[in-house]
Amino acid sequence: MNLLDDFQSSHAVQHDLQFTSQGEFGRVYLDEKLLYSIMSNLLLNAIKYSPSGTQVTLKIEGDPEQIIFEVKDQGIGISEDEQANIFNPFYRGQNVEGVSGSGLGLAVVSKCVEIQKGRIEVSSQVGEGTRFRVYIPRLNKDAIPLMPTEIVD
Angle at 146 between CA 88 and CA 119, to 5 degrees: 30
| Sign, CA torsion 121/6/55/59 | positive
How far is the C-alpha of 66 from the C-alpha of 89, rounded, in Å? Answer: 27
- The mean pLDDT value for 79-99 works out to 86
Closest CA to 143 of 110, 109, 117: 117
pLDDT tens digits for 92-150?
Answer: 877 777 777 788 999 999 999 999 999 999 999 999 999 999 999 987 555 555 555 55
Q: Check residue 153 and give its pLDDT.
A: 46
Domains and CATH numbers, the chain: 30-146 (3.30.565.10)
Count of positions (residues) in the chain: 153
Buried b (16+ CB within 10 A) or exposed e, 83-114: beebbeeeebbebbeeeeeeeebbbbbbebbe
Average pLDDT over residues 45-49: 92
Indicate the pairing of strand 16-23 with strand 148-150.
unpaired
Query: What's the chain's average pLDDT?
Result: 85
Q: What is the pLDDT of residue 110?
A: 96
